[in-house]
Structure 1
Amino acid sequence: MMQVKSVTRIFGQKAALDDVSFAVEKPGFVGIIGRSGAGKSTFLRVMNRMTDATSGSLMFDDRDVLALEGGAKRAWQSQCAMIFQQFNLVPRLDVVSNVLHGTLNRRSTLASMFGFWPDDDVLKAFAILERLDIAEQAAKRAEALSGGQQQRVAIARALMQDPKVILADEPIASLDPMNAQVVMDSLRRIHDEDGRMVIANLHTLDTARRYCDRVIGMRDGRIVFDGTPDQLTTGVARDIYGADASFNEGATSTAIETLGTEGDDAYAQSMMA
């Protein structure tokens, strides 16, 4: 279904992605873990075509999405929805309007500017909000919602695109444990019920073990682990995160799990000087 071949992204003298290769045979829930600068965020941005790869290919349903341009590129971005750590909602717009923005890639700019939404799209938006147990917030401004609620609105906006793939870049890094569980439960349910591929950058080992079918560990732009959650031992985690050898056995797992919540593009570009 998806084959990533030797994908590399260079920022100045720094390789944010260094010869990344792996294959996904069927829609699954894939977690990507690693510390800041490992390449996690850069990979998702390359896959969604928000950032161009320096070299390599990414085949999805027999198309190299890294070679798409113009309308074909925009169509792919509609099929490959992004969810961000900081939600990326329009704060002063109401919730349902934010969700409807998931249709922008297939609607005229003029109609969108004046809020002319087809009735079918409005009904679909409300149905998605209902599915995510947030329909009662539909008329509120996005900025009035809690962080967990805003992230569910962002998920609803992604579902409005009817995507084949959902990319989630640290979707729970800024949330408290209760809201983090609600968001992760929602993503897992979407995968299970809809059969959509979900690829999520995650910052704790426990979350990866609980929700993912497969875990990919990255370090310095390269894949250093690719396996099942039960293979994600403390020793493997040390290899991924490069934890200081002075950590004792009891503290290592906890210390490791607190690492790596910053964006990789910013890290990579900071290394260009």
Structure 2
Amino acid sequence: MLDVQGVTRMFGQKAAVDNISFRIDSPAFVGIIGRSGAGKSTFLRMMNRLLDATSGEIRVGGRNVLALKGAEARAWQSQCAMIFQQFNLVPRLDVASNVLHGILNRCTTLQTMFNFWPRADILRALEILDRLGIAEQAPKRAEALSGGQQQRVAIARALMQDPKIILADEPIASLDPMNAQVVMDTLKRINAEDGRMVIANLHTLDTARRYCDRVIGMRDGRIVFDGTPDQLSTGVARDIYGADAGFNEAATSTSLPADTTADGTYADLMLS
């Protein structure tokens, strides 16, 4: 399903990602772990085509996505949704409109300028928000939401694209433990229920052990570990993070918020 072969990204004389290769044959939940600067974000940005690779191939369904240009590259970005650490929402726009921005590449300039969306797309956006437990937030400005809620809006925007793969670049790095768990639970549920591959850059071993089917450890641009969560021993952690690094994340128990339904008045307004 995903075949990465010899992918390298140079910045001057330094290799941010250094000849990495791996293969994923099922829609698994894959965690990429390592210290800051290990090359995790650079790799995801290359995969999403936000950054060009210096060399190598990333094949999905037999097609090298690194070779795509123009409209084909943009179409690939729709199939490979990206979630960022800082959410990348439009703060002054309402939540529903932010979700609808997931399909901007399918809309005309006039639709975008006047925030005009087809009825079916509005209903789908509200349905996705309902699924993620934040439908009641649809009419609010994105900037009025908590960090955890904003990240779930970003996930909803990604789902609006109906992607095959979701890339999450440090999705919980700026969240408190309770919101971090809600976001990770949400991503895991999408992976399990939808059969979508999720590849998430993570800082900590406990998060990788709890949520991932497979873990790839990077250090200085290279893969130094590729295995299952139960193989993440202290020795392996030292290889990934260095002997002076801390390996544990405090476990905080929380649960997804209760499901809610969209506000009827706001739905009517969006659909009018």
Aligned residue in 1 for 2:188: 188
Q: Secondary structure at the match of 2:157?
A: helix
Q: Secondary structure at the match of 2:218?
A: strand
Aligned residue in 2 for 1:13: 13
Aligned residue in 1 for 2:104: 104
Q: CA deviation at 1:108?
A: 1.5
> Is the contact between residue 243 and residue 256 of structure 1 (CA under 8 Å) also seen in structure 2?
no
> Is the contact between residue 203 and residue 257 of structure 1 (CA under 8 Å) also seen in structure 2?
no
TM-score, length-scaled by structure 2: 0.90
- The one-letter code of the counterpart of 1:97 is S
Q: CA deviation at 1:105?
A: 1.4
Q: Secondary structure at the match of 2:41?
A: helix
Q: CA deviation at 1:62?
A: 1.1
TM-score, length-scaled by structure 1: 0.90
Aligned residue in 2 for 1:118: 118
Segments of structure 2 that go 5 or more residues without pairing to the other structure are 250-272
How many residue pairs are counted as aligned between the two chains? 249
Aligned residue in 2 for 1:73: 73
Q: CA deviation at 1:100?
A: 0.2
Superimposed CA distance per residue, residues 204-252 of structure 1 (whole angstroms, 9 cap, x where no aligned partner):
11000000000000000000000000000111000001123xxxxxxx6
Q: CA deviation at 1:113?
A: 1.4
Superimposed CA distance per residue, residues 34-85 of structure 1 (whole angstroms, 9 cap, x where no aligned partner):
0011000000000000000000000001110000001000000000000000
In structure 1, distance between residues paired with 2:109 and 2:184 = 33
Aligned residue in 2 for 1:53: 53
Aligned residue in 2 for 1:129: 129
> Is the contact between residue 216 and residue 225 of structure 1 (CA under 8 Å) also seen in structure 2?
yes
Aligned residue in 2 for 1:30: 30
Segments of structure 1 that go 5 or more residues without pairing to the other structure are 245-251, 259-273
- The one-letter code of the counterpart of 1:20 is I
Aligned residue in 2 for 1:234: 234
Superimposed CA distance per residue, residues 95-132 of structure 1 (whole angstroms, 9 cap, x where no aligned partner):
00000000011111221111110000000000000000
In structure 1, distance between residues paired with 2:216 and 2:143 = 34
In structure 2, distance between residues paired with 1:243 and 1:190 = 35
Superimposed CA distance per residue, residues 152-188 of structure 1 (whole angstroms, 9 cap, x where no aligned partner):
0000000000000000000001101110000000000
Q: Secondary structure at the match of 1:256?
A: coil
Task: Please identify runs of 4+ aligned residues in structure 1 that moved more than 4 A.
Answer: none
In structure 2, distance between residues paired with 1:149 and 1:162 = 20
Q: CA deviation at 1:257?
A: 4.4
Matches within 5 A, 1:200-215: 200-215=200-215
Q: Secondary structure at the match of 2:111?
A: helix
Pair 1:256 & 2:247 matched:
yes
Q: Secondary structure at the match of 2:26?
A: coil
Aligned residue in 2 for 1:220: 220
- The one-letter code of the counterpart of 1:131 is R
Matches within 5 A, 1:155-194: 155-194=155-194
Aligned residue in 1 for 2:44: 44
In structure 2, distance between residues paired with 1:32 and 1:113 = 38
Aligned residue in 2 for 1:266: none
- The one-letter code of the counterpart of 2:247 is I
In structure 1, distance between residues paired with 2:52 and 2:243 = 31
